Amino acid sequence: MNRLYKLDEWRIIEEGFHPEFNRESESIFSIGNGYMGQRANFEEQYSGDSLTGNYVAGVYYPDKTRVGWWKNGYPEYFAKVLNAPKWIGIDICVNKKPVDLTSAKISFFTRTLNMKEGYLDREFKLSVAGNKTLEFNIRRFLSMPEPDAGIIKYSIRSVDFEGAIDFTVYLDADVRNEDANYGKKFWREVSREISQEHGILIARTLKTDFHVATGMCFNFLKNGKETRVNSNLIDLEKYVGNAFKENIKPGDELSIVKFVSVLSSLNNPKEDLMGDVKKRLREISSKGFEILFSDHIKVWEKIWKTSDIVIESDIAAQQAIRFNIFQLNQTYTGKDERLNIGPKGFTGEKYGGSTYWDTEAFVLPFFLKTADQKVGRNLLLYRYKHLQASIKNAEKLGFKNGAALYPMVTMNGEECHNEWEITFEEIHRNGAIAFAICNYIKHTGDNEYLADYGLEVLIGISRFWSQRATWSENLKKFVILGVTGPNEYENNVSNNWHTNSMASWTMSYTIESLLKVMKELPDKYRDLISKTGFDFSGETSLWQKIIDNLHMPFDEGRKVFLQQDGFLDKELMDAGKIPSGERPINQHWSWDRILRSCFIKQADVLQSLYVFEDKYDTETIRRNFDFYEPMTVHESSLSACIHSIIASRLGYIEKAYELYLRTSRLDLDDYNNEVGDGLHITSMAGTWLAIVEGFGGMRIDEEKVQINPLIPVQWKSYSFHARFRGSLFEVKVTKEEIIINNLSDKCLPMVVYGKEYQIAVSEKKAINHRVTRSCTD
């Protein structure tokens, strides 16, 4: 753990320049708007260690898979979300010497991410020309209401320096991905244009042929007054720029306001990009910095009004949850069903920025409770549109009859993960996608989605499970062999309890859904049966046979579910016995040693107990938590949040708080020594769930909201907003009472500690008694 940043309720603040942690700060201070994102790279040149990154949603490159041993069915490529043409460039020379913070004499430095208003500030002072001082102030934001627009205000003020400053304002498409498998650059220039009024670069990706137009124009101000400059035009392959010089004397301030538009062929016809980007530059620049900034702040004000969590008397916890909420909302806005949420969002290259099961298991519940219904629907439609590709994924592995295996990693529905034990074995992801459909309908009541889209997906997934299960004559049970569960520190195991649980539940829910649609929407049911060639009697009878006879490993002595067959053959020991110098073990141990150990990367059995909590009594959950959590090293970003929620459910409040703080500050304090690669965006949704579903005890059951709040001793109070079927409400929990505020235009039924209340429109209801969550049912 490394607490580098100052604690503040609404800001992330770096005081002093720490080049040894520059990559980490580039990740932490990233900004985005759902359409594109930018790591906190410096505008001016920087020769120190840096991971440059500007990412445009949906634009990717299929980088040929690099493996030593090719297997049939192996993905041919790994989808890389590309480092797109650089738009932030503003190089500075003072008396012909470049400003480069690697070698500059810095007397003051601070970097601030303002989460409340969504912008990045940087301030520093340099000693130049002996002991003369220049002050630099830079503000950058990616507009939320104008998603193609990036705006920078770059100001230099002289304290006591007199001399010449050279500016070069530029765009650069000669960029690379650090994680390229074969060292290739993925962009080719299509066209470019540079003039006194604007600079434009249009580049295309290799293979996928996405075209991205990046356009810039700028205003120059001296002491607050706009001044026209006559710049030298720089016109090079993949590079355009405007270079000019201006004298400065003590007290003067020179400012550049750079307006940028980034358009892609996902949204604009290729042949129109040049004209469209010119038009957008005129529109953006005509509004000016102040209006653009004001409009941007208003959008963030609206977001925070319905998604903020307020924690009283614990600044570390407060800062952390707002950081998580901020990053989630600037990564995905839900406006485009072609887009999804990568594990790193717009903050780094690792994992390709592609879609994983994290979306359905962690991120969807966050947006179901905090955003308009269409946001969750678009996340599901993204998967529906990949159904045919998922059927082809299964066909490559030998499955038939419309069986669908959704990819572990994808950009377009095609599997593109390049680790065999994940690609072929981590099939529990299919269950997460199926459960997401159920979860969406439970939260929204949108049964039409089930008939129009969801049921077709469920049939494909259930067909997969029925073919993946095989009959064991030895056990007289169906078994699922050769899998990897959520705990990726185990590979090629048999009968992973979570995987088998998801398989059984999916087939059962699909049968239930078929009967529901058959009864309520018979015409749509007949159309679906015809489209899928579904044999109700034959297929559902097989599914039911598997459900009734699927092997579920269980230890009679301990009365716990076994993570997989043979788990008890391991040497069982507490993770606390691992020397601190060997943590995280994935950075210190051989893979062989990890696989032979009992140590668990993330919730596995407990993942199912979280998902299907209503099927198990408290003591069953407790026995399994007490058995597995001590062996869990929490080296997945998705681990601590699930354990925190379950700990809250069990009344283990101190454990829940400890795990909440770990998951919420995972990146801010770099628990796993990897934040330089980018943030853990999808796990941030789990942090939110740790408060709302954990401490708040929020569940959706029998078409009602249920809450069973508890409060950590470190907190004086906390409050959160959530949505249910069009209703928005706020819950505040103090040491003495729970206050429910119905912010919607209809009555809200809510169950609190088992007692039902009707919360009237605009009513604030205080439940004036203190209740501690019971440790038993």
How does pLDDT run across 125-165, given as a tens digit for each residue? 999 998 999 999 999 999 999 999 999 999 999 999 999 99
Q: Taking residues 222-243, what's their average pLDDT?
A: 97
Model confidence at 774, pLDDT cuts 50, 70, 90, reads: very low
Is the pLDDT at 663 greater than 80? The verdict is yes
Q: For residue 630, give the DSSP letter.
A: G
Catalytically active residues are: 488
User: What is the number of residues in the chain?
Assistant: 777
Helix, strand, or coil (residue 345): coil
Both tokens of residue 3? 């607490």
Model confidence at 62, pLDDT cuts 50, 70, 90, reads: very high
**pLDDT tens digits, 725-766:** 999 999 999 999 999 999 999 999 999 999 999 999 999 999
Q: Taking residues 54-69, what's their average pLDDT?
A: 88
Q: What is the pLDDT of residue 672?
A: 87
> What's the CA gap between 376 and 7, in Å, rounded?
33
**pLDDT tens digits, 538-573:** 999 999 999 999 999 999 999 999 999 999 999 999
Q: For residue 15, give the DSSP letter.
A: E
pTM for this one?
Answer: 0.96
Q: What is the pLDDT of residue 189?
A: 98
Tell me the percentage of the chain whose pLDDT exceeds 70. Answer: 98
Of 460, 415, 414, residue with least CA distance to 433: 460
> What's the CA gap between 461 and 387, in Å, rounded?
9
- What's the mean pLDDT when you consider all of the chain? 95
Q: What is the pLDDT of residue 168?
A: 98
Of 367, 442, 350, residue with least CA distance to 637: 350
Q: What is the pLDDT of residue 421?
A: 75
H or E, element range at 629: none
Model confidence at 769, pLDDT cuts 50, 70, 90, reads: low
Q: What is the pLDDT of residue 353?
A: 64
Tell me the percentage of the chain whose pLDDT exceeds 90. Answer: 93
Is the pLDDT at 771 greater than 60? The verdict is no
Backbone angles phi, psi at 411, to 5 degrees: -120, -25
Distances (CA, A) of 270 to 186, 202, 751: 18, 10, 54
Helix, strand, or coil (residue 699): strand
Is the pLDDT at 457 greater than 50? The verdict is yes
In three-state form (DSSP H/G/I as H, E/B as E, the rest C), the secondary structure along 697-760 is CCEEECCEEEECCCCCCCCCEEEEEEEECCEEEEEEEECCCEEEEECCCCCEEEEECCEEEEEC
Q: Taking residues 3-27, what's their average pLDDT?
A: 97
**pLDDT tens digits, 588-638:** 999 999 999 999 999 999 999 999 999 999 999 999 999 999 999 999 999
Model confidence at 770, pLDDT cuts 50, 70, 90, reads: low
Q: What is the pLDDT of residue 777?
A: 35
H or E, element range at 30: none
Is the pLDDT at 775 greater than 60? The verdict is no
DSSP of 90-121, one letter per residue?
EEEEETTEE--TTTSEEEEEEEEEETTTTEEE
Cβ atoms 280, 244 nearer than 8 A = no
